Structure 1
């Protein structure tokens, strides 16, 4: 269909006005902002970056001191128990104090299995795979760990042993390991199980 020149002009004029509007909108993108009244802008407050002028915080506020560690949150897993006990204790406490508090907390929570309430019957280890127990007089801050394993000291007499050796599960499992290495043929003890 043939179009009339008047209809072309109208479409062309409409297109020109549209281009002018686009130029006005894109001018803000290119950094040309339309002039606004100065009152519409928010005034930024004055700041003083060097307010203290190089003074130390302790000189300005004498009551502010570097914070000192006041309590430790430790996890103690007790042998046979499902989950760890969380104990809040001071860092100056000893391993013996941690054992006593862990046993007390365990009995207070009425966890299973029921254990003796005497803390001297237990030893603290870094983990259940650790052979040596920790010294009861050692400070908790010197240990470097926050997770521990508590197991009971038991004396077990092994009657089925080929050599008749009494074995004990004591505070130092490394002694038991040393006894096993002193035998010339430690693997001979297991021959009874093969037959």
Structure 2
């Protein structure tokens, strides 16, 4: 009877060893996950392991800011609501979502073309380092 209980399968399914490489970090993070786990939960687990190990650069803890890629499958990011074992891959790359570069500035905001650069120059010249 004891032998039967040890061989009993888990209700969630098979566990797999996942290797997640974070861009800019020294090496991959390895941990066990279930094949049915969502990509979003795998990203969350990877961020927690990354923070627990004290790795650099600091990433944060919001899994919505990150994308998980599978280099063997293609350049498209994985859907956050798919199972991690759906592709059959075990090696992944984690990186930040790209920020929007084309933000529209309204005229009512008081921003002018080139105004931010001029303000930066004026501010940088007004800073003076005092010597003792």
1:89 is aligned to 33
When the two structures are aligned, how many residues end up with a matched partner? 98
Which protein has the bigger helix share? Answer: 1
Aligned counterpart for 1:121 among listed residues 57, 65, 68: 65
1:152 has 2:116 as partner: no
Contact 1:75–1:148 (8 Å) recurs in 2: yes
RCO comparison, higher one (Cα < 8 Å, 6+): 2
Superposition RMSD on alpha carbons, in Å? 2.8
State the 4+ residue runs in structure 1 displaced beyond 3 angstroms: 63-70
Q: How many angstroms apart in 2 are the aligned matches of 1:100 and 1:135?
A: 14
Query: Which blocks of at least 5 consecutive residues in structure 2 are unaligned?
Result: 104-132
Task: Please tell me whether the aligned partners of residues 67 and 95 of structure 2 are also in contact (alpha carbons under 8 angstroms).
Answer: yes
Alpha-carbon contact 1:95-1:137 (below 8 Å) kept: yes
Query: 5+ residue gaps in structure 1?
Result: 1-62, 158-165, 168-195
Cα pair 1:128 1:149 within 8 Å, conserved: no
Give the number of the structure whose alpha-carbon radius of gyration is greater: 1
The aligned runs of 1:68-147 (5 Å cut-off) are: 70-127=14-71, 130-147=74-91
